[in-house]
A and B are shown apart, each in its own frame.
Chain A
Amino acid sequence: MIPRERCTYSAIVDRPPLKLPNQARIVVWTIVNLEFWSISRAMARQVLPAPTGEVLVPDVPNWSWHEYGMRVGVWRFFDLFARLGIRPTLSINARVCREYRRVARAAREAGWEFMGHAWEQMPIHKVDDQAQMITRSLDTLERFAGTRPVGWLGPGLTETYETPDLLAAAGIKYIGDWVYDDEPTEIRTTHGPLITLPYSVELNDIPMMLVQHHESGYFTQRCIDSFERLYREGAERAKIMAIAIHPYISGQPHRIKYLEGVYEHINRYDGVLHWNGVEILDWYLSAKAAP
């Protein structure tokens, strides 16, 4: 189905306001992405393009840069979120459970929500058998984490025309790929409705640092600007603000303090809920059913 067939346009001002419990204004949804980058292929992202501009295999500098995130950067995240008492959603390539078992275990022990994020990091359009990859990914995460994930985020948020249908058929209840609203929405699939949750491409360290090349300090500023606006709007209707991070980017020594600064600012306010994807999904299902 083409996207337009899955959802009808709707202006947010025309929808009945959703309300959060206890008059909360805003849900902050933190998503940590853990990926497996195969050294035998072109790297998903680059910090240092080759001097000639050629694609290298093996691409040692860019593979190493990502690897730093698993060896060093991610521990700064575990530390930070343990201190804050926040359990993020873990968007994890299933292959990470095998190749970086130690990291996946730390997330499991800390009670983070495991969300499907394909088998390994490449655009989903390039996967030969998408249905099989989805099943294999979810089976792997279920075996590792003990519960089957209900959420999914495509690598680079990629989808083919069929992806939502395949995900719904595989038992997924929510996706993060449709970053087109401040609220959850429903889209049609061949296997019934699928919920979309507002992930972020704005408060996301890939577009910010790797595409737009902002200075590290701007991360805090942009998150605060976004938070303050959404918090204000949250007086009228529930707002959800996602923060999407990667250990090899925001886990760098020169960036972690700017991530810390975001939570420091947010936590001065009342009415802020730090929820994961499952909690947002459960709230949405009951909130929209409420009279």
Chain B
Amino acid sequence: MLPSERLDFSAINQRPKLALPDGARLAVWVIVNVEEWDPTQPMPRAVLTPPAGGAPMPDIPNWAWHEYGNRVGFWRMLEVFDRSRIRAVLAINGSAIQRYKPIAHAALERGWEFIGHGFSQRSMQKVADERDDIRRTAAAIRDFTGRPPRGWLGPGLTETWETPDLLVEEGFEYVCDWVLDDQPVWLKTRTKSIVNLPYTQECNDVAMMLIQHHNASEYYDRAIDQFEQLYHDAAQSARVMALVVHPYIMGAPHRLKYLSNTLARIRDHRDVLFWTGEEILDWYLAQRSAW
């Protein structure tokens, strides 16, 4: 299906009002991405381009830079989430669960929500059998946590023409790849519709640090600017705000405090809810059925 066939245009101020419980204005969700980068494939991102260019294989410096996130960076990020008493959403490659078991255990122990994030870190358009990839990812999560995942985020937010159709058929209830709104939206598929939750390209450390090359402080500055505007927008109808982090980026020693300060500052507000994706989904479904 064409993207434009999956949902109609709709203006946010012309929709039925969404109301969060207890007078809250904003639902904030934080997604931690944990990936496995195959050292026999080109690295998805690079911090140190090779001298005089080319594409060396193996790419030790860039493989190691990402690996740092899982060995070290994740653990200092965890401290921040624990201190803020926030349950994050873990978007994890299916294969990464076994590869980085301590990470999966730490998330499980804390009741973080696991969502599918491809079986390995590559474009869904380059995957040999997309349904099989989705299915294996769901199975890896179900086998480890005891529950199948309800949500999905494509690696690099990539999809084929069929991805939402396959996700519904494989039992997923929400997807995050369609970053086009501040509220959940419905996407049509060849069978049932699926909800898309507002993920973020803007409050996202890959975009900010690796593509735009901002100072680490930009994470905080931008998150607070985003928050203040969405908070204002939410006066009449609730908004959803996402914050996205990767352990090898915001978990670097020189960046962590900007994440920590962001969560602390937002947490200060009483009318803000830190929810997981499925909490947002269940709330939205209940809202919709009330109309």
Are A158 and B252 CB-contacts (below 8 A) given A2-B39, A207-B48, A213-B213?
no
- Min CB distance A72 to B, Å, is 22
Select one of A154, A181, A226, A241 contacting B60, CB under 8 A.
A154
B10–chain A nearest beta-carbon distance, Å: 39
Contacts of A214 in B (CB 8 A): 213, 215
A-facing mask of B113-155, CB < 8 A → 1, else 0?
A: 0000000000000000000000000000000000000000000
Interface positions of A (Cβ within 8 A of B): 2-4, 9-14, 41-45, 121-126, 154-161, 177-182, 201-204, 206-207, 211-214, 218, 221-223, 225-230, 233, 241
Contact between B99 and A158, CB atoms less than 8 A apart = no
**Closest A-chain residue to B69, C-beta based?**
A180
- Neighbouring B residues of A206 by C-beta, 8 Å: 48
Q: A156-B48, A177-B64, A233-B76 are in contact. Are A212 and B58 (CB under 8 A)?
A: no
With beta carbons under 8 angstroms apart, the residue of B47, B57, B58 that contacts A201 is: B47
Contact B50 A180 (CB under 8 A): no
| Complex contact B39–A122 (CB within 8 A) | no
Residues of B bordering A, CB below 8 Å? 39-40, 47-54, 56-58, 60-61, 63-65, 67-68, 70-72, 74-76, 99-100, 102-103, 213, 215-217, 252-257
Residues of B near A42 (CB, < 8 A) are: 52-53
> In the complex where A9-B100, A122-B52 touch, is A4 in contact with B39 (Cβ < 8 A)?
yes
Determine the distance from Cα of A156 to Cα of B48 in the docked complex, in whole angstroms.
Answer: 7
Inter-subunit contact B52/A44 (CB<8 Å): yes
Contact residues in B for A12 (Cβ distance below 8 Å): 71-72, 75
Taking a contact as CB atoms under 8 Å apart, the answer to whether B253 and A180 are in contact is: no
Measured between beta carbons, the chain B residues less than 8 angstroms from A223 are: 254
Contact B67 A201 (CB under 8 A): no
A-B residue pairs in contact (CB < 8 Å), sample of 29: A2-B39, A3-B63, A4-B39, A9-B99, A10-B71, A11-B71, A12-B75, A44-B52, A123-B52, A125-B57, A156-B49, A157-B48, A159-B60, A160-B56, A160-B58, A177-B61, A181-B68, A201-B48, A201-B64, A202-B253, A207-B47, A222-B254, A223-B254, A225-B253, A225-B254, A225-B257, A228-B257, A229-B254, A229-B256
Q: Beyond A3-B58, A158-B56, is A179–B65 a contact (Cβ under 8 Å)?
A: yes
B49 and A161 contacting across the interface, CB-CB below 8 Å: no
In the bound complex, do residue A159 and residue B48 qualify as a contact, i.e. CB atoms below 8 Å apart? no
Partner among B40, B65, B102, B252 whose Cβ is within 8 Å of the Cβ of A2: B40
- Give the CA-CA distance A37 to B74 in the complex, in Å: 38
Residues of B within 8 A of A43 (CB): 52
- Which residues of B sit under 8 angstroms from A45, Cβ to Cβ? 51
Give the 6 A-B CB pairs with smallest separation, nearest first. Answer: A44-B51, A157-B61, A226-B254, A212-B213, A180-B64, A225-B254
The docked-state distance in angstroms from the alpha carbon of A129 to that of B65 is 27
Residues of A within 8 A of B70 (CB): 9, 11
In the complex, what distance in Å separates the CA atom of A11 from the CA atom of B101? 9
Structural contact, A211 and B51, CB atoms closer than 8 A: no
B256 to chain A, nearest CB (A): 6
Interface centre among B50, B54, B216, B217 (most CB of A within 10 A): B50
| Bound: A41/B56 CA distance, A | 18
